[in-house]
Structure 1
Amino acid sequence: MDGVPQLHGMHAADEHKEEIIKTYQELHMLAEPSWEEEKTSQYIKEKLVNAGFIIQTYEGHFGFIAELEGEQSDVIALRADMDALVQEVDGAVVPNHSCGHDAHSTMVLYTALILSKQKMKHTVRFIFQPAEEKAAGALKMMEENVLQKVKFLFGIHLRPVMEIPFGKAAPVILHSSTASIKGVIKGVPAHAARPELGNNPLEAAALLIGAIRQIQLNASDHYSIKITELHGGEASNSIPENARFTLDLRAESNDTMEMLLEKAKHTITKIEELTETEITSKVEEYSPAAVKNLPAIEIARKAIVSILGEENTEEACVSPGAEDFHFYTAENPAIAATMIGLGCGLKPGLHHPKMQFNQEALVYGTKILTQMLLEADQQRW
């Protein structure tokens, strides 16, 4: 790498291997839901304060930033998410780190600690974000102006073994756009013995499911739409007044998502007219798709090659999942940004309550992030 320093402790991650894995295991046990990451945040902040970092906290949530002051005020930034899912595990509904946010926080934390005594040209900002699982944390952090003077932003995400094998990494994750449409169908309640006096919202829901199914059958591989939730009725002999539903939408690009949302809206309106019911709906949990930024991807690629070698560097990771990281660039397209996809032997899959991965990946993941910051620091943004 011409002109790019190999960190004074490029092997510092190896030296801190036991600490890195211990930190991950302790964060894994904390596991707090979106907007409730108090203990997680405090744990990370304590380690950063002890290393001399300046911490900026905010009212109303547990997200924060830590900065390493450079020679210039322009900022290169690294983001970690902190929240856990709430899901059923062995019969109990509990917070559970099955998406790897504890791993991401660990790698970003140790990248910060390793770089804490490194002289940098740019100011380096470490963003610890709440509520990624609610697709709301990035938006909140932007409200706090955490992207002020940021020229380069990147993140990292563990990948399932079927996407990227252990020992490999990709310089970009091409996440899809995702959205939920939540709606209520209002009919006319009646006794089940006199259905002609009512207007059954469940029958309207059935027609809606069929119409949505037709959209899906006509879909290419570039998008999907399906019903994931339907509730209505409490008694076997009564026609209910209301039925509520949720649709899950996914698309490879933001333009395709806009088209899909229009199709869904048109379909809901047609069913409303056909059944003479009243259907109210709104889009929730929207996340934009990733957009390739070639300069950022090239910096990430160089860092991965430096640590893992060309033969272990994937071109890209294409994922049907979503990530609220992409709000940062959707709202600020001038910022160069990408997200590393880290192969780690993850099985059986993200969001599975029994998700596991090879914790050795935390060490080379930390090395990649450290080297990527060093690569980015050499650029003129």
Structure 2
Amino acid sequence: MEHAQTLEKTYEELHRLAEPSGGEEKTSLYLKQKLTQAGYDIQEFKNHYGFYVEWPGEQEEVIALRADMDALLQEVEGKVRANHSCGHDSHSTMVLHTALRIAAEKKKYNHTVRFLFQPSEEIAAGALEMMRSEALKNVVFLAGIHLRPEHEVPSGKAAPGIRHGTIVSLKGKVTGTPAHAARPEDGTNPIEISSELIERFRDISIREPFSFKVTEFHGGEASNAIPATCTWTYDIRCRSNEGLDELTDRAEVEMKKLASETGAEISFSLEEFSPAARINRKAVQKAEKAIREAAGEEAIDEICESPGAEDFHFYTFHQPEIEATMIGLGCGLKPGLHHPDMTFDTSALIFGMDILYELLQEADQSTYNEE
């Protein structure tokens, strides 16, 4: 009971520290202080607030856990502020206390154990920053954990993997010819052309599940004038990276076709890309064993299917040889991730920490990179 209260206290303190992507200064300092007190040396970086600590092992090969630290900027009670509505404060709590448990036990490990604390997950930039900082050097096994809504993973259960999809933002600008609204024939209306794009994009279809939705649309400053430009953003999601490529290729064809038909200029960029999950069977099997060891066979749920994205998957997108998985933690989360009033059963924190601890024990007994 005392240990559970300690985890909940850490969670509450991190929750109050909520900071946006790229600004995780106080959150990072809080975690570093706890880890330094436990005897860890901090490996920090100049260009971001991410860092890692290690428990030395007999081998240079590294088994690792990753936590994210940033919060979302959103309106809460009438004010825009950083708010932990995605559970990153809980993820940092569970990984922190796993590290503290290992330091307290002073157990010898075959592999070096690394604990990564990553910034900027919400803007799909933190994993890439950590990789550029060589935080994944010698890593052969990597795991993360993420709270799941009740309808995805029930309370008391955990999924040994999460099948996140891939996402990209298609940001574009249509440049037409401005004119008086009374003389539309003298201009080329970028709002009308952008509206036509919405219709054409609706006709795009591929074989796998996907979403292609306009989320921003801006054009015009006066009621009696045809503007020169219209800007917009589409949120594009798909089950696989290959499917996303097909969607964006088809969108580009439609934009070029419409530009040719109307004489307008249509420019675009693909931003905020996050790759789809790679389900690694070996890593999933380790996670199943860890869940079983932590809470019994009945606690193992199926791989979680999520419509969201997660920049954790950049690690295996660029280094596919790493065995990796993300645990989906059932915790009674409601009404949903990214909702400003998101809540969950904080007693699940110790369940998640126990799984992460057992997962490291399992990963440490394995041999990697065999021919």
The answer to whether TM tops 0.5 is: yes
Pairing 1:38-53 to 2, within 5 Å after superposition: 38-53=25-40
Alignment partner of 2:92 out of 82, 86, 105:
105
The DSSP-based 3-state class of the residue aligned with 2:233 is strand
Partner of 1:68: 55
1:35-71 alpha-carbon deviations (Å, 9 max, x no partner): 0000000000000000001110000210001111111
2:92 maps to 1:119: no
CA distance in 1, matches of 2:181, 2:336: 44
1:251-291 alpha-carbon deviations (Å, 9 max, x no partner): 11111111111111112212222221101100001000001
Partner of 1:140: 129
Alignment partner of 1:199 out of 160, 168, 188:
188
Alignment partner of 1:297 out of 267, 284, 288:
284
CA distance in 2, matches of 1:274, 1:176: 34
Alignment partner of 1:366 out of 332, 353, 365:
353
Alignment partner of 2:251 out of 264, 276, 283:
264
Pairing 1:191-230 to 2, within 5 Å after superposition: 191-215=180-204, 218=205, 222-230=209-217
CA distance in 1, matches of 2:99, 2:339: 29
CA distance in 2, matches of 1:169, 1:19: 22
Partner of 1:158: 147
Q: Contact between 1:54 and 1:68, CA under 8 Å: does it hold in 2?
A: no
Q: Structure 1 residues 89, 220: CA separation in 2 closer, same or farther (over 3 Å shift)?
A: farther
Q: Which amino acid aligns with 2:107?
A: Q
1:170-207 alpha-carbon deviations (Å, 9 max, x no partner): 00000000000001110111111111111100000110
Q: CA deviation at 1:94?
A: 0.8
Q: CA deviation at 1:219?
A: 5.0
CA distance in 1, matches of 2:259, 2:367: 56
The DSSP-based 3-state class of the residue aligned with 1:353 is coil
Q: Which amino acid aligns with 2:217?
A: L
2:301 maps to 1:320: no
The DSSP-based 3-state class of the residue aligned with 1:325 is helix
Q: Which amino acid aligns with 2:213?
A: K
CA distance in 1, matches of 2:246, 2:137: 33
The DSSP-based 3-state class of the residue aligned with 1:290 is coil
Partner of 2:323: 336
Q: TM-score, normalised by structure 1?
A: 0.95
Q: CA deviation at 1:221?
A: 5.5
Partner of 1:3: none
Alignment partner of 1:354 out of 341, 360, 365:
341
CA distance in 2, matches of 1:344, 1:268: 44
Q: Which amino acid aligns with 2:191?
A: L
The DSSP-based 3-state class of the residue aligned with 2:23 is coil
CA distance in 2, matches of 1:196, 1:261: 32
Q: CA deviation at 1:87?
A: 0.8
CA distance in 2, matches of 1:220, 1:349: 28
Pairing 1:248-259 to 2, within 5 Å after superposition: 248-259=235-246
Greater alpha carbon shift after TM alignment, 301-310 vs 26-35? 301-310
Q: Contact between 1:227 and 1:245, CA under 8 Å: does it hold in 2?
A: yes
Q: CA RMSD in A?
A: 1.0
Q: CA deviation at 1:19?
A: 1.0
Greater alpha carbon shift after TM alignment, 64-73 vs 168-177? 64-73
Q: Contact between 2:171 and 2:233, CA under 8 Å: does it hold in 1?
A: yes
Partner of 1:8: none
Q: Which amino acid aligns with 1:280?
A: S
Q: Which amino acid aligns with 1:185?
A: V
The DSSP-based 3-state class of the residue aligned with 1:54 is coil
Partner of 2:166: 177
The DSSP-based 3-state class of the residue aligned with 1:359 is coil
The DSSP-based 3-state class of the residue aligned with 2:121 is coil
The percentage of aligned residue pairs carrying the same residue is: 56
Q: CA deviation at 1:118?
A: 2.2
Unaligned runs of 5+ in 1: 1-13
The DSSP-based 3-state class of the residue aligned with 1:119 is coil
Q: Contact between 1:107 and 1:365, CA under 8 Å: does it hold in 2?
A: yes
Q: TM-score, normalised by structure 2?
A: 0.97
CA distance in 2, matches of 1:111, 1:170: 19
The DSSP-based 3-state class of the residue aligned with 1:230 is strand
Q: Which amino acid aligns with 1:256?
A: G
Q: Which amino acid aligns with 2:220?
A: G
The DSSP-based 3-state class of the residue aligned with 2:146 is strand
The DSSP-based 3-state class of the residue aligned with 1:265 is helix
CA distance in 2, matches of 1:292, 1:341: 13
Aligned length: 366
Q: Which amino acid aligns with 1:177?
A: T
Q: Which amino acid aligns with 1:258?
A: D
Runs of 4+ in 1 over 4 A off after TM superposition: none
